[in-house]
């Protein structure tokens, strides 16, 4: 019967005898495990950022923008002239079965004043459907209503950043602010959404009824003009159907023939962002794979050192065989030595990887997310590497002839 505790004790004693060589052998594993954890932390953070941005825009979202127009034979750039109206948005809501919500937008920048405080920010005219489509929650107060839109009421909904800068610790609900010298009553405050991947503050905005923006704040080039639409499909599966229905309807309403270019563009934002998320995940896998090469190099280092160790300890192996050690005793001893080196290196490598990720976050300004899965994966892989690359030296040692081993100088 194999005496495992005794073999482990012998292996530990052998490693302690050659401390420097053992430390250098572990160095490859330490660097490999640390690199895997640090690279996966960077990649995971990128995927998380994109997922958060997808959540912030809502699910199953299409965006409709004005397209290129032609004036006097000169083709203008996309969005240079708005071609969308509030009636277009209402028609999409009524006539497209795959659409669940439509939120028209007319936006601009304005100065806000409350008492002796002022703040310049973006102001977006829209409808209550915006908050349904984007899946935004209210932290206090309420959303303005469809009746507010129909009557062009002077009410507004604040983002957290605007509320903090104008009101501080005061509850803004019910207070009156001035937007471009027009008084508006604050009816609610949105929950914080943070920054998008581009670094823009999604809470630095004010929402008002779209009709109020058209008639009392920004005006329009022609009646009912809007700058864009957010459209929420009924489900993820109906995204393509919704896109097709919206395109066909707007072409019909804008009298666009089969051979003419559309004067609008429909963008499937969810698909674009999901593709970006998939790319980020692939990059995470790629970074992890590249870093894993360091682990393989460390494993090869273990194998080389163990082969040297077998050669140096040939006489010791002969003596052990002469006093009754079996083939598996010798084989297991060297496998355990390699495994101990890998596991100790793996533990130090985990500490090194976590520290590296934190340093990257502070010094380079990179977002990092250390997942327990990446730590377990890197540590487990280091153990597998130790067993895999330690087996051949162990196998070679177990095949030594006891008589020849005792003669070895």
Crossing angle between the packed helical segments 327-359 and 19-57, to the nearest 10 degrees = 50
Mapped onto helix, strand or coil, the DSSP state of residue 377 is helix
Which pLDDT does position 275 carry in this prediction? 67
Lowest mean pLDDT among 67-71, 169-173, 239-243, 267-271: 67-71
pLDDT(308) > 80: no
DSSP 65-78: EE---EETTEEPPT
Alpha helices in 18-98, H assignment, sequence order: 19-57, 86-95
SS3 380: helix
pTM value? Answer: 0.61
* pLDDT of 126 above 90: yes
Q: Where residue 394 falls among pLDDT bands split at 50, 70, 90?
A: confident
337, 408 contact by CB (below 8 A): no
- Is the pLDDT score of 192 beyond 70? yes
C-alpha 394, offset from chain centre: 44
Residue 4's pLDDT band (cuts 50, 70, 90)? low
CA distance 235 to 98: 8
Residue owning tokens 């190099």: 297
- Averaged over 239-250, what is the pLDDT? 92
The answer to whether the beta carbons of residues 140 and 188 sit under 8 Å apart is yes
- Kindly state the average pLDDT of the residues 109-128: 93
What tokens does 58 get? 């809502």
Alpha-carbon span 3 to 63, nearest angstrom: 70
Q: How confident is the model at residue 7 (pLDDT cuts 50, 70, 90)?
A: low
Cβ atoms within 10 Å, residue 172: 22
pLDDT (average), residues 140-145:
93
**What pLDDT digit, counting tens, does each position of 376-389 carry?**
878 887 888 878 87
Q: What is the pLDDT of residues 266-302, one digit of tens each?
A: 888 666 666 666 776 777 677 667 767 777 777 787 7
Question: Which among 80-94, 103-117, 325-339 has the top mean pLDDT?
Answer: 103-117
Distance, CA of 298 to CA of 27 (rounded, Å): 7
**pLDDT surpassing 70 at residue 58:** no
Dist CA 393 CA 11 (whole Å): 14
Domain range summary for the chain, segments of one domain joined by +: 4-53+277-407, 84-262
Q: How far apart are CA 308 and CA 312, in angstroms?
A: 6
């Amino acid at each position: 019967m194999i005496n495992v505790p005794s073999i482990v004790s012998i292996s530990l004693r052998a490693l302690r005898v050659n401390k420097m060589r053992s430390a250098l052998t572990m160095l490859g594993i330490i660097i490999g495990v640390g690199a895997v954890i640090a690279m996966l932390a960077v990649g995971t953070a990128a995927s998380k950022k994109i997922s958060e941005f997808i959540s912030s825009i809502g699910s199953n979202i299409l965006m409709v923008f004005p397209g290129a127009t032609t004036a006097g034979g000169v083709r203008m750039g996309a969005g240079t002239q708005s071609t969308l109206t509030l009636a277009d948005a209402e028609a999409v809501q009524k006539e497209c079965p795959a659409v669940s919500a439509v939120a028209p937008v007319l936006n601009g920048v304005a100065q806000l004043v409350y008492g002796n405080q002022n703040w310049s920010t973006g102001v977006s005219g829209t409808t209550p459907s915006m908050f349904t489509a984007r899946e935004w929650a209210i932290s206090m107060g309420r959303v303005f209503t469809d009746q507010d839109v129909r009557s062009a009421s002077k009410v507004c909904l604040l983002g957290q950043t605007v509320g903090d800068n104008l009101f501080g610790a005061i509850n803004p609900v019910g207070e009156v602010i001035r937007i471009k010298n027009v008084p508006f009553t604050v009816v609610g405050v949105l929950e914080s959404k943070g920054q998008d991947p581009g670094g823009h503050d999604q809470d630095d905005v004010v929402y008002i009824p779209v009709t109020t923006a058209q008639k009392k704040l920004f005006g329009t080039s022609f009646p009912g003009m809007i700058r864009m639409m957010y459209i929420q499909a009924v489900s993820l599966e109906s995204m393509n159907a919704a896109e097709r229905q919206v395109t066909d309807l707007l072409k019909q309403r804008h009298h666009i023939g089969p051979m003419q270019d559309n004067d609008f563009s429909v963008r499937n934002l969810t698909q674009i962002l999901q593709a970006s998320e998939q790319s980020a995940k692939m990059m995470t896998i790629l970074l992890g794979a590249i870093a894993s090469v360091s682990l393989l190099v460390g494993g090869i280092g273990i194998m080389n050192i163990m082969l040297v160790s077998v050669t140096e300890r040939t006489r010791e192996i002969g003596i052990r065989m002469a006093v009754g050690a079996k083939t598996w005793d010798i084989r297991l001893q060297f496998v355990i030595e390699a495994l101990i080196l890998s596991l100790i290196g793996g533990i130090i490598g985990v500490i090194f990887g976590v520290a590296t990720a934190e340093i990257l976050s502070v010094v380079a300004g990179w977002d990092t997310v250390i997942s327990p899965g990446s730590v377990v994966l890197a540590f487990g892989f280091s153990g597998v590497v130790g067993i895999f690359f330690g087996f051949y030296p162990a196998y070679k040692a177990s095949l030594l002839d006891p008589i020849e081993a005792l003669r070895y100088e």
